[in-house]
């Protein structure tokens, strides 16, 4: 066998189309970025003052949060409204998701039904949540009803796919064993599918709750659904109150960290089985 | 009394080759039948045609005088609950406890709602505990099944089949994944079920010597056809060679040795 000595030159890496495209893209982006900086129109702006103000604003936002137009009870209540919007749409989405996942997992449903449901949910998922809310706003008017409908719709589409994939991973042997002992379809669902995929189902549902929470903040402002998102919209766009913005941001941050903590706990449990 | 009657059964999975190519035999109550044959001979297919996990392409299978091909769903459930089945890979629900897995054997007798939610009566639970005692697993009833050894899992599988009160027990390579001592415990348990409870056993086995030791009758299958059907003592080396073809050489060398053919 030929053993390469230290003097043997390393063979050149063969030309690789995809890595070439990647480097070319990066190079073009770098050139454009530098070009962009040089062509900024900073005539009317005093850069020193602007940077100063930016620093000041950031300081106010993050180091001097406070409430003026809203009381602390008001803030908590509106945070509650946003959480409730996220929670409600997740629960509704989970119920619808479960029903249609049973109809679309290949080891539970006939192929034609599975194909139909999967194609339909792919379309639902392809349209972003905000668009669904706007679509429902046509008939329900912009507001909480449209937000609930639109967010539920997209959550359902997402959870149908997630649940169905969890179901499809269930061991075919145990399904066969229960069928062989005379169990019917529902009994197999309740005794094999649910226990075998429970951890995954919970994990997916919680992940969707996190997504829905942040969507609910945006919908509060964008769709007038109320809650802390609407408060932020008022504080920033209407009162120009940075200290209040800071308070809202912290409230959301604390809640998000809490969610993340629970999600990680759940995930670890899933991994353990 | 004839428990199982297989009449000229053919099965094709599509294409023009037959996994079963005109198989016929009858099994009387109390027999311990071993089905042997090389990999791909059609043993698993044959067993699954009995409880209609697989539909036959042509021919007929009758269990306790009931033809399985024409059964409606409810009647099929009623028939299946009288047929126990155990598997090479045990096929338990790993996330559930030993007790819950054994109770699955009662599902065929329960209403959809009670079964789906896992509501069992006190007498069903007591029965499950008794059977677990009989197979020596009474100390593990609340353990999750993924914490058991292979031999213990297979005994849970046997308990799950026994609680069905079966008249016929189908075993698809019950010891193929077990070490020799666990395999012996499982085979002894099956023999016990056969002789003491009078349950008819039909088992696919990979090891000829195990079939010889335990079965009252051996059916040799090759390429979807029955090559041999008779007493273990009449199974000569010539016939083994006919059943196993090119695999026979290893088998004859390994015969009598507890490790079988793997
Ligand atoms: N689901 C299936 N789809 C297509 N062909 C199959 C299927 N199951 C089995 N077969 C084919 O049918 C034939 C018989 O298979 P079967 O599993 O019954 O054999 P076996 O005797 O149990 O073998 P082994 O000892 O390996 O378990 C094989 O040729 C196999 O490839
Ligand atoms: Mg097999």
Query: Tokens 């890979």 identify what position?
Result: B89
Whether B88 is in the pocket of ligand 1, judged by its Cβ within 6 Å, is no
Domain encompassing residue B63: 2-82+166-260
Domain limit, last residue, from B165, B185, B203: B165
Which residue in A has a C-alpha nearest to residue B79's C-alpha?
A182
Residue nearest to atom 6 of ligand 1 (CA): B13
Q: In the numeric block, which tokens belong to residue A102?
A: 């049973």
CATH number at residue B216: 3.40.50.300
Query: Which residues, 6 or more positions from B106, have their beta carbon under 8 angstroms from its beta carbon?
Result: B115, B120, B124, B163, B164
B61 and B131 both lie in a single domain:
no
Tell which residue, B47, B119, B107, B49, has the closest CA to residue B77: B107
Share of chain B above pLDDT 90, in %: 89
Residues A192, B93: contact at Cβ < 8 Å? yes
Residue nearest to atom 30 of ligand 1 (CA): B40
Residues A90, A152: contact at Cβ < 8 Å? no
| Cβ distance of B112 and A196 shorter than 8 Å | no
Whether B13 is in the pocket of ligand 1, judged by its Cβ within 6 Å, is yes
Tell which residue, B35, B13, B24, B33, has the closest CA to residue B216: B33
Paired with B1 in beta bridges are none
Going from the Cα of B193 to the center of ligand 1, the distance in angstroms, rounded, reads 28
B142 and B28 both lie in a single domain:
no
pLDDT of residue B255: 54
Counting the structural domains of chain B, the total is 2
Question: Three-state SS for B169?
Answer: strand
Going from the Cα of B39 to the center of ligand 2, the distance in angstroms, rounded, reads 7
Per-residue pLDDT of chain A (273 residues; tens, 9 = 90+): 565 566 777 878 778 888 889 999 999 999 999 998 888 877 777 888 888 989 988 888 888 888 887 888 888 999 999 999 999 999 999 999 999 999 999 999 999 999 999 999 999 999 999 999 999 999 888 888 999 999 999 999 999 999 999 999 999 999 999 999 999 999 999 999 999 999 999 999 999 999 999 999 998 888 888 888 888 888 888 888 888 889 999 999 999 999 888 888 877 776 665
Q: Which residues of B touch A269 (CB under 8 A)?
A: none
B255 and B191 both lie in a single domain:
yes
Residue nearest to atom 8 of ligand 1 (CA): B45
Instruction: Give, rounded to a whole angstrom, the gap between the first and last alpha carbons of chain B.
Output: 37
B192 and B156 both lie in a single domain:
no
B170 and B78 both lie in a single domain:
yes
Specify the pTM: 0.86
Mutate to test the pocket of ligand 1, among B13, B221, B260 (most ligand atoms within 8 A of CB): B13
pLDDT, one tens digit per residue, over B48-85 is 999 999 999 999 999 999 999 999 999 999 999 999 99
B178 and B149 both lie in a single domain:
no
B155 and B172 both lie in a single domain:
no
B76 and B95 both lie in a single domain:
no
Q: What is the ipTM of this complex?
A: 0.92
B145 and B171 both lie in a single domain:
no
B171 and B256 both lie in a single domain:
yes
Cα–Cα distance between A78 and A70 in angstroms, integer?
Answer: 10
Going from the Cα of A129 to the center of ligand 2, the distance in angstroms, rounded, reads 49
| Cβ distance of B93 and A195 shorter than 8 Å | yes
pLDDT, one tens digit per residue, over B139-176 is 999 999 999 999 999 999 999 999 999 999 999 999 99
CA distance B15 to chain A (A): 21
| Cβ distance of A191 and B85 shorter than 8 Å | no
Cα–Cα distance between B156 and B135 in angstroms, integer?
Answer: 8
Per-range mean pLDDT, top range of A2-11, A40-49, B117-126, B243-252: B117-126
Domain limit, last residue, from B165, B200, B215: B165
Q: State in words which class domain A70-272 has.
A: mainly alpha
B9 and B44 both lie in a single domain:
yes
């Amino acid at each position: 066998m030929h053993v390469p000595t230290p003097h043997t030159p390393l063979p050149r890496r063969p030309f690789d189309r995809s890595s070439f495209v990647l480097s070319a893209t990066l190079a073009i982006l770098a050139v454009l970025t530098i070009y962009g900086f040089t062509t900024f129109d900073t005539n009317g702006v005093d850069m020193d003052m602007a940077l100063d103000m930016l620093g000041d604003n950031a300081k106010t936002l993050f180091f001097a949060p406070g409430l003026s137009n809203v009381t602390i009870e008001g803030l908590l209540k509106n945070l509650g409204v946003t959480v409730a919007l996220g929670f409600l749409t997740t629960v509704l989405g989970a119920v619808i998701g479960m029903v249609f996942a049973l109809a679309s997992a290949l080891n539970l449903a006939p192929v034609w039904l599975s194909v139909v449901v999967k194609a339909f949910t792919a379309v639902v998922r392809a349209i972003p949540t905000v668009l669904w809310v706007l679509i429902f706003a046509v008939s329900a008017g912009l507001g909480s009803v449209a937000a609930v409908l639109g967010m539920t719709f997209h959550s359902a589409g997402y959870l149908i796919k997630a649940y169905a994939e969890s179901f499809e991973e269930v061991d075919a042997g145990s399904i066969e064993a229960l069928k062989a002992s005379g169990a019917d379809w529902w009994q197999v669902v309740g005794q094999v599918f649910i226990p075998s995929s429970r951890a995954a189902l919970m994990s997916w549902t919680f992940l969707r709750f996190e997504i829905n929470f942040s969507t609910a903040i945006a919908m509060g402002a964008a769709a007038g659904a109320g809650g802390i998102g609407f408060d932020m919209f008022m504080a920033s766009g209407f009162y120009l109150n940075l200290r209040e913005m800071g308070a809202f941001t912290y409230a959301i941050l604390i809640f998000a960290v809490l969610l993340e903590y629970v999600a990680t706990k759940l995930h670890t449990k899933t991994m353990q089985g | 009394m004839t428990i199982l009657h297989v009449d000229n059964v053919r099965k094709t999975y599509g294409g023009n080759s037959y996994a079963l190519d005109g198989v016929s035999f009858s099994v009387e109550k109390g027999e311990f039948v071993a089905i042997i044959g090389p990999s791909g001979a059609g043993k698993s297919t044959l067993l699954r045609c009995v409880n209609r996990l697989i539909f036959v392409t042509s021919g007929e299978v009758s269990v306790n005088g009931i033809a399985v091909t024409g059964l409606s769903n409810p009647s099929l459930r009623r028939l299946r609950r009288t047929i126990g089945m155990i598997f090479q890979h045990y096929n338990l629900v790993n996330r559930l406890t030993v007790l819950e897995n054994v109770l699955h054997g009662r599902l065929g007798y329960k209403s959809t709602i009670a079964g789906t939610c896992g509501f069992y009566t006190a007498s069903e639970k007591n029965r499950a505990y008794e059977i677990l005692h009989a197979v020596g697993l009474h100390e593990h009833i609340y353990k999750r099944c993924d914490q058991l050894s292979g031999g213990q899992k297979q005994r849970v599988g046997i308990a799950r089949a026994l609680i069905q009160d079966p008249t016929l027990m189908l075993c698809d390579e019950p010891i193929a994944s077990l070490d020799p001592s666990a395999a012996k415990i499982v085979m002894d348990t099956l023999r016990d079920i056969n002789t003491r409870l009078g349950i008819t056993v039909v088992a696919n086995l990979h090891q000829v010597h195990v079939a010889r030791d335990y079965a009252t009758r051996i059916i040799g299958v090759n390429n979807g056809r029955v090559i041999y059907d008779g007493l273990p003592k009449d199974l000569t080396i010539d016939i083994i060679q006919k059943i196993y073809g090119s695999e026979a050489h290893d088998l004859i060398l390994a015969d009598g040795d507890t490790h079988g053919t793997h």
